[in-house]
Amino acid sequence: MKRLMLVLAACAAGTLLTGAKAPSVEEVKARIHKEHPRLFLTPETLKTFADRANGPGKAELDYVLARIESYPKDPKLEVNPQYASLKDGKLVFHTHRGNQDNTGYGIKSTGGVEAMNCTIAYFATGKEAYRELALKFMKLNVEFVELADRSRIMPEWYHNTRLCALTSYDWLYNTMSDQERKAFIVPCLKHVKRLVAPGYQINGGSPSTGAYGEAPLRWYVGLAGYGDGYDDALADELLTMGYKSCVATMDHRERLSAGSGLLTSICAGYSFGFYPWFSFNFLYTLNTGCGIDGAHIWGQMRDYPNYFNWMAIPNYQSPGQFCEFGWGDSYHASNTLRAGMMYAHLAQAIHFYGKEAPARAKQARAVIEILPEQAKEHCGMTVFPYWPFVAVHFDPKESNDLPPEQAFGHDCATNFPSFGLTVMRSGSGPNDTYASIKAGASQDAHQHLDENTFIIYKKGFQALDTGTRDKLPHHKAYYAQTIAHNGILIRTPNDPLGPHWYPANAVKVDWKKIFNDGGQNQRLRCRSLGFEQSPYHAATGGDATACYSADKCKEAVRQFVFIKPDYFVVYDRVTSVKPDQQKVFLLHTQNEPTEAHGIWRGSAGEGAIFMRTLLPAGAKSEVVGGDGKEFVANGINYPADPSEKPPTWIGRYRIEVSPTEAAAKTRFLTVLQAALKDTPGMVATHLVQTKSQDGVEFIASDGKTCRVMFNRDDLTGGSIEITRDGKTLVRQQLLL
C-alpha cells in the first residue's frame, strides 16, 4: 500500500511517463535517413554547425583547437613501452595497468577522440588540414581495433574512442571517397561483429550495467553503415542487435528510476560518472538517425537532478564540493563525490527535457549553480567532445530564478525502492546530519553483501562503510563482506565466503581457505519493510533473513528510525539456528572510540557519534582495529593498498556489540546520536518495555519528547510518538 501511495504521489507530481513504448526495430529501420550525418547531427543541423561552434560554443571550440595543436601531424600506432610490446604483430603486456588488460592501455593513442576533435575543427573553420588529419586518426583507430582483434585482447573498457571515430566518419561521409569510406566502415563492422562472442574477456555489458562497453556500439556502427552498400547485411544485423540492446537498457533504467532519477547504481562513481552518457548518446542518435524523439519514451534523465540532490553531501571542509555516502564499490579514500561530468549530464538533461519539464530543468540549473567552477569548464570533452555542439537546447548563459535551497523541497527523507535505499537528513547544509540505509534491494549493480546496513555523516563520516577496492585479497575477503559494514553478524565456523567479483589482475588466492566472518552470503533477498516520513521523522527497515545462510539464521530484521535532527533508533530482531552462534551489532568508526558509563563515543572530522545499547541487557562490547588490525575478519587482517593511508574514510576501528549469554533469540535496541565534535555528552535515554514491545524514550536537544516502540515478536512494526510543549507532533503506528 505504501509503495502504491509513493507511485501515486509521483504521478501527481508529473514525474512518471505516460507509458509510451519504443518503436519496433522494423519501424526504426524504415525511418533511417538515407543521407549522412546520422550520428548526433543531421544534414540540416550540420549546415548550422559552424554558427553554433563559433557562437555559443566558441569557448569549447577554442578548447578543441588548442588540443589539436599538440597532435602529431602524421599519427602512427605506437606501443606504450611502459606496459606492453609487440610480438609477432600482437600486443603482449608485461606490466598490468588496471584491473584487466585492454589494448588501449598498451598503445599511446587509439585515434578516436583525436579524430572527433579534428572533425569538429573542420566543420567549424572549413580548413582542409583538419579534415585530412581527422582521416589519419580514423585510420589509426582502424589499426587499433585490428590490433585488438589480432591480439585477442579487449580493445578498451569503454567504447567512447570508437564511437568518436564512427561519428567522425559519419560527419565526414560526404567529403570522403568511396575507397576511404569502405576502408573505414567495413573493418569497424567486422570488429564489432567479432566482439559479439569473441571467446575472451571483453566488457560485453547488459541492460543492468553502465552500457559503455560493446553492446551499444552495435547500434552506432549499424546506424553509421546502414544501407550504404559496403556491407549492408552486417550493418543490418548489428543495428538490429544494437537497437534491441539499447531499448532493453533504457527500459531497465526507466523501471529502476520510476520518476526518482536513480540511474542503475547507488554507487556514486558510476551513476554520476560514465553511466548517463549511454542514455544521452542513444537519445541523440535515435533522433538524428531516425527522427524519433526518445525523450517522450524514456524520462529517467529528466529526473536525474533529484537523485543528485539526495546523494550529494555538502563537504563542510570545502565549500562547493560534495561527499558521497560510499555505497557499493566506492573507493572510500576521500568519499568525494566526483562531479567532473555532472555539468555535462545536467546540461544535456535540460537539452532533452527542459521545454516539457521546466520544473526539472530549474532543478538541474540549481544543481549547476552549486557545482564547483572547475567542473563547468569543458566538462566531458575529453571523452565525448561533440556534446557541447549538439546540445543546442541548453543555453549556458541562461540564469535560474529558483534559488538552489528552494529547488527540491524540504522533506527529511526519500526512498529509492529499486535499491531499498533511504536517505535521511536534518537539512541540506554543510552542518546538517545525513544518513542512509539500504534495506530491500531488488537490483545488484556494484553492490555488496550489505543489506540492512547504514551510514551516518555529521561534518565527517561518523558511521562508515569501510574498506576499499583494489587488487588485493582485501577486496573480496573484507571490503564487500558484511563485516565491513554497519550491520548484523551471526558467526558460525567455516561459513562460506559471500560471493563478489575479484579483479582479473589481482593477487591469486585460494578462496576455499577464506571464510565469511558471520555475514550475509546472498544479495537481492532482503524484503523492505516500507518507508514513511513526517516533518519530524523517517522510518524504514528490512527483513534480511534470506540473505544469511539458512544454517545459521532464522531471523534478521532491522527497523531504523531517524528523528530530526540527530537521532537514530535501531531495533534488530535476530534469531540464530543454534544458541552458540554469536550475534553481533557492528558500528564502524574512523578513529578509536571510547566508552564511559555505557555510552560509546567516536569522532571524525568536526563531528562525533554517540551510541548506547539498551538491549540486550548487559551486552558486551569490544573494539577491533588500530594499526595492523583495521580490516580483521575471522582473526586475519586483510590490509588495503598501503598507499591508502590516513586521512581516508576506509575505516580503522569497529565496535562489536553482542549478548553475554548464549541464546538463539537476541533483540538489539540501539540509540545513536550524531553531534558536533565538542558536544559534551549524549541525551539521556530510557528503556521502555511492555509484554510485547521494546522501546526507548528520550528528550531531544530541541525539547521534543520522543518515544519509539517496536514489536518484540510476530509481526514487525510498533509506534512512534513525538511531542513538544504539550503538543503532539507525531503519533502513529510504525511501518505496518
DSSP percent split of the chain into helix, strand, coil, nearest 5: 30, 20, 45
- Mean pLDDT of all residues in 455-482: 97
Percent of the chain whose predicted confidence (pLDDT) is above 90? 92
- Mean pLDDT of all residues in 119-141: 98
pLDDT at 231 over 90: yes
Q: Which band of pLDDT confidence, cut at 50, 70 and 90, is reported for residue 6?
A: very low
pTM of the predicted protein model? 0.96
Amino acid sitting at position 104:
G
**Do 721 and 711 touch, CB atoms closer than 8 A?**
no
**Which pLDDT score is estimated for 373?**
86
- Mean pLDDT of all residues in 482-492: 98
pLDDT at 658 over 60: yes
595 phi/psi in degrees, rounded to 5: -130, 135
**Residues 649, 468: Cα–Cα separation, whole Å:** 9
**Which pLDDT score is estimated for 642?**
87
CB atoms < 10 A from the CB of 200, how many?
Answer: 9
Every domain of the chain and the residues it spans:
413-682
CATH code assigned to 413-682: 2.70.98.70
- Mean pLDDT of all residues in 74-96: 97
**Which pLDDT score is estimated for 3?**
31
Q: pLDDT digits over 188-219, tens only?
A: 999 999 999 999 999 998 999 999 999 999 99
**Residues 723, 732: Cα–Cα separation, whole Å:** 12
**Which pLDDT score is estimated for 249?**
98
The three cell numbers locating residue 306: 533529484
**Which pLDDT score is estimated for 19?**
57
State how beta strands 313-314 and 322-323 pair.
antiparallel
**Which pLDDT score is estimated for 320?**
83
State how beta strands 665-676 and 705-711 pair.
unpaired
Q: pLDDT digits over 688-723, tens only?
A: 999 999 999 999 999 999 999 999 999 999 999 999
**Which pLDDT score is estimated for 355?**
95
Q: pLDDT digits over 417-456, tens only?
A: 999 999 999 999 999 999 999 999 999 999 999 999 999 9
pLDDT at 1 over 90: no
Mean pLDDT of the chain: 95
**Do 519 and 512 touch, CB atoms closer than 8 A?**
no
**Which pLDDT score is estimated for 646?**
76
**Residues 100, 588: Cα–Cα separation, whole Å:** 31
**Which pLDDT score is estimated for 47?**
97
- Mean pLDDT of all residues in 40-50: 98
Q: pLDDT digits over 317-350, tens only?
A: 988 899 999 999 999 999 999 889 999 999 999 9
pLDDT at 283 over 80: yes
Q: Which band of pLDDT confidence, cut at 50, 70 and 90, is reported for residue 401?
A: confident
**Which pLDDT score is estimated for 14?**
33
**Residues 670, 380: Cα–Cα separation, whole Å:** 45
**Residues 267, 446: Cα–Cα separation, whole Å:** 7
- CB pairs under 8 A, 24+ apart, for 722-727? 722/536, 722/537, 722/563
Q: pLDDT digits over 299-310, tens only?
A: 999 999 999 999
